[in-house]
Structure 1
Amino acid sequence: MYVLIVGAGQVGQMIAANLADTHDVAVVERDPELADEITYTYDVLSVQGDGTELETLRDAGLERADLVVACTDSDETNIVVCGTAKTASETFTIARVRRRTLLNTWEGSRGAFGVDFMVCTDLLVAQTIFRISGFPRAQDVETFAGGLVRMAEFEIGPESPLVGKRVEEADRYDSMTFAAVFREEQLIVARGDTEFRADDRIVVIGSPHSVKEFAMAMVPDTTSSTDDVVIVGGSEIGFQAAREFEAHGFEPRLIERDQERAREMAEALPDTFVMQSDATDTDFLTREHIDEADIVVAALDSDEKNLLVSLLAQRVGVDRTVAIIENTEYTDLFEAVGIDVAINPREETAEEIVRFTRTDQTEKIAMLEHDRAEVIEVELDDDSALVGREIAESMEGLPDCVVIGAISRGGDLVTPRGTTVPRAGDHVVLFVDATVLDEVSAAL
């Protein structure tokens, strides 16, 4: 596949890095320094110029492009890039936007603006925040097979009863599979004799009920309630997060410092209690009983502010904090100082876009640990190496670092066992080490 990316910011670079080894990639970037940098960093064609101009796109190979991805930091520019590409080609176009109003307009008329698919970053992040909120200690939660399957990544704390146990001892869930363990720089495929250690990150795949039950067992003294949600910051992400919680029947609290923005939020969010104040004021946090919140989401306009608010929330006694970070280099720092979950909007966007470069059978992907591994949903056809044979037999021809986590068959969940025989039309959710992803995709 020939992929033309317009915009060499963090999203563009993440997509280029993911695709450079397996696809032909060209990147268009206005900034000459960034254009040079991406040439030396990745094995891609770099074209310095304006992606809204047809000649620039042609210089980058528009005529043979299978996919054009417009991911600059400007919504309007991205839409114009897609429209321009459509004037001279039939390539599939993807536009990254931050404003949900643009997404709503596009959804009212699919294909509008010359955009075949639109990714709304702020909405993606809001949905991620909501998914993670319901699972104690979850670092990541994704939904597969139309909601039938959950994938979750958890961190094992030193107080967890899992510490010192083997997978075979912990595996008491009928509809859940232990997929893998991340231990420092190691990726360990979960086997029966794999022993859990403090600070391990484990990946499980299964029914929503079983994954939730497992999450509660990991931290026995933690309630499953997320009734009291506090969102700090009336940014677009903060606003969308509040809307997402409202849509699921919650009544979150939102703190916004700017009086005018707070008024706007109060008018637009009927089921959200909006407080106009400074969330770094510890007296205010104490007075408003923020310490009683089940989760605090820091969604301010800078990484530094989000870090400060998260630390203050922990100081007053909040059990769980989620912080938005724009700079990917801060991820390890946030986690090192004890922030429970750090969400990068650019990573969420890149993940959503990359799935369009996979096989036609790939329905969804989730990248883990900065793309060290992926969980993918694949619809099997008659030619798949898995179809018509027991899993124990068919897996012998695949790399060891592959785990079949769940199977959706006609809307029913099938928990895979060695004797299970996958069929054509099944939706299979697999954990795959990123280094063997191409080999596995070809076999499936």
Structure 2
Amino acid sequence: MYVIVVGAGEVGWAIAATLQESHDVAVIDRDGTVVAALTNSMDVLAVHGDGSEIDTLRAAGLDDVDLVVACTDNDETNIVICGAAKIESDAFTIARVSRYSLLETWGLSEGWLGVDFMVCTDILVAQAICRISGLPAVQDVDIFAGGLVRMAEFDVKPGSSIANRAVREIDIYDSLTFAALFRGDEMLILTGESVIEAGDRIVVIGSPDAIDTFADDLTIPDHEAAKEIVILGASVIGFHVAREFEAHEYRTRLIEHDHERAREAAEALPKTLVLETDATDTEFLASAHIAEADIVVAALDSDEKNLLVSLLAREAGVERTVAVIEKIEYLELFETVGVTVTINPREETAEQIVGFTRTDLTEKIAFLEHDRAEVIEVVVDADSVLAGRELAESTLELPERVVIGAISRDGELVTPRGATVVNPGDRLVVFVDTAVLEEARTVL
């Protein structure tokens, strides 16, 4: 596939870096310094120019393009880029936008202004936070096979029922596969003899009911799924997070210092209690009983502020904190000081967009541990090494560090075991080490 990425900010850079090994990629940016850096660090065609101009798109290979991704920092520019690309190509076009109103308008008319798909970063982040909050101890969760299958990554706390036990002892769930764990910088594919330790992050794949049951069993007493949420900051992301929680019937409080933002949020969020005050005011946080919240979401307008209020929430007694971070280099710092879950908007956006490059077999992807591994959904064809064979035999031909987590067959979930025979047309949900992803995709 030939892909043109317009805008080499953090999102565009991440997309190009992910795609360069398996696709032909051109990247357009208006900053000559950025173009030089692309040329020196990636195997891509780096083009200096304005991606909304047809001549620049031509220079990037518009005649041959299959996919155009417009991910500059300007919503209107991204829409214009998609429209310009459609003038002389049949490329599939994706526009990244930050304004939800544009997404709503686009949704009313398929292909509006030449945009085949629109990605709203703030909505993706809000949805991710809401999914994560629905399960205790979860670090990440994603949905596959039209909702039939879930993937979840859990943090194993000291005192957890599965700590210091082998997988064969805890593998008691009919519709669950223990795929892998992350232990510090190490990633381990799980076998029956693998021992789970406190501090590990364990990845499981299975039915929603099995995931829910496992989450309940994993939970230390008194650590239940979230019921009451406090959101610090009525930023665009904070507002959409509150709206997602309202839709799922959580008890939600939103704290915002700016009078106009607080007023607008209160008018638009009838089921959310909006409090106009400074989220860093420790006396107010104590008087507002913030410690009673199950989760505190830090969604202020800077990473530094989000770090500070997350620390204040932890100090007040909140056990689960979720922080939005823009700068990926801050990730380790946030985790070191005890922030439970971090969400990077650019990673969420890149994950969504990269999935569109897997149009041959892959239906959906999810990144884990910042692209150290992926969970992918693939449709088995007759040429797959798995087709018509028992998994115990066929998986020997797969690269190491690949785990078949679940099978969707005619709308029914099949839990993969050694004697399971895979049929052409089955949808597989597969855990894959990113290092062997391309090799795995050639044989799945």
Same fold (TM over 0.5): yes
Asked if 1:174 corresponds to 2:161, the answer is no
- Checking the alignment, whether the CA contact within 8 Å between 2:365 and 2:377 is kept in structure 1 is yes
Aligned residue number for residue 345 of structure 2: 345
Shift of 1:319: 1.7
2:60 partner letter: A
Aligned residue number for residue 20 of structure 2: 20
Asked if 1:87 corresponds to 2:87, the answer is yes
- Checking the alignment, whether the CA contact within 8 Å between 1:155 and 1:201 is kept in structure 2 is yes
Q: SS state of the match for residue 79, structure 1?
A: helix
Deviations 1:386-414, CA, capped at 9 Å, x for gaps = 22111111101111211111111222211
Shift of 1:224: 2.9
How much is the aligned-residue C-alpha RMSD, in angstroms?
1.2
Report the more deviating stretch, 340-349 or 374-383.
374-383
For 2:234 and 2:93, the matched residues in 1 are separated by 31
Aligned residue number for residue 217 of structure 2: 217
For 2:121 and 2:183, the matched residues in 1 are separated by 30
Q: SS state of the match for residue 251, structure 2?
A: coil
Report the more deviating stretch, 213-222 or 284-293.
213-222
Shift of 1:251: 3.3
Aligned residue number for residue 239 of structure 1: 239
- Checking the alignment, whether the CA contact within 8 Å between 1:142 and 1:366 is kept in structure 2 is yes
- Checking the alignment, whether the CA contact within 8 Å between 1:3 and 1:67 is kept in structure 2 is yes
1:411 partner letter: G
1:285-324 matched pairs, under 5 angstroms = 285-324=285-324
Shift of 1:185: 2.2
Aligned residue number for residue 404 of structure 1: 404
Q: SS state of the match for residue 11, structure 1?
A: helix
Q: SS state of the match for residue 254, structure 2?
A: strand
**Structure 2 unaligned blocks of 5 or more:** none
The percentage of counterpart residues that share the same residue type is 62
- Checking the alignment, whether the CA contact within 8 Å between 1:148 and 1:207 is kept in structure 2 is yes
Shift of 1:138: 1.4
Aligned residue number for residue 96 of structure 2: 96
1:269 partner letter: L
Deviations 1:107-158, CA, capped at 9 Å, x for gaps = 1101001111111101000010011002222111101111111101122223
For 2:419 and 2:195, the matched residues in 1 are separated by 25
1:107-186 matched pairs, under 5 angstroms = 107-186=107-186
- Checking the alignment, whether the CA contact within 8 Å between 2:133 and 2:225 is kept in structure 1 is no
Report the more deviating stretch, 84-93 or 338-347.
84-93
Asked if 1:417 corresponds to 2:420, the answer is no
Shift of 1:162: 2.3
For 1:370 and 1:260, the matched residues in 2 are separated by 36
**Structure 1 unaligned blocks of 5 or more:** none
Shift of 1:159: 3.0
Report the more deviating stretch, 384-393 or 233-242.
384-393
Q: SS state of the match for residue 252, structure 1?
A: strand
- Checking the alignment, whether the CA contact within 8 Å between 1:361 and 1:379 is kept in structure 2 is yes
Aligned residue number for residue 194 of structure 1: 194
- Checking the alignment, whether the CA contact within 8 Å between 1:20 and 1:44 is kept in structure 2 is yes
1:391 partner letter: L
- Checking the alignment, whether the CA contact within 8 Å between 2:136 and 2:225 is kept in structure 1 is no
Aligned residue number for residue 33 of structure 2: 33
- Checking the alignment, whether the CA contact within 8 Å between 1:180 and 1:189 is kept in structure 2 is yes
Shift of 1:384: 2.3
Shift of 1:161: 3.1
* Matched residues, number: 444
- Checking the alignment, whether the CA contact within 8 Å between 2:380 and 2:387 is kept in structure 1 is yes
Aligned residue number for residue 72 of structure 1: 72
2:277 partner letter: S
- Checking the alignment, whether the CA contact within 8 Å between 1:216 and 1:223 is kept in structure 2 is no
Deviations 1:13-69, CA, capped at 9 Å, x for gaps = 111110111111111011111111111111111111111111111111111111110
Deviations 1:343-388, CA, capped at 9 Å, x for gaps = 0000000000001111422111001111111100112223322221
For 1:23 and 1:339, the matched residues in 2 are separated by 36
For 1:96 and 1:273, the matched residues in 2 are separated by 31
Report the more deviating stretch, 240-249 or 151-160.
151-160
- Checking the alignment, whether the CA contact within 8 Å between 1:290 and 1:318 is kept in structure 2 is yes
- Checking the alignment, whether the CA contact within 8 Å between 2:2 and 2:25 is kept in structure 1 is yes
Q: TM-score, normalised by structure 2?
A: 0.98
Q: SS state of the match for residue 389, structure 1?
A: coil
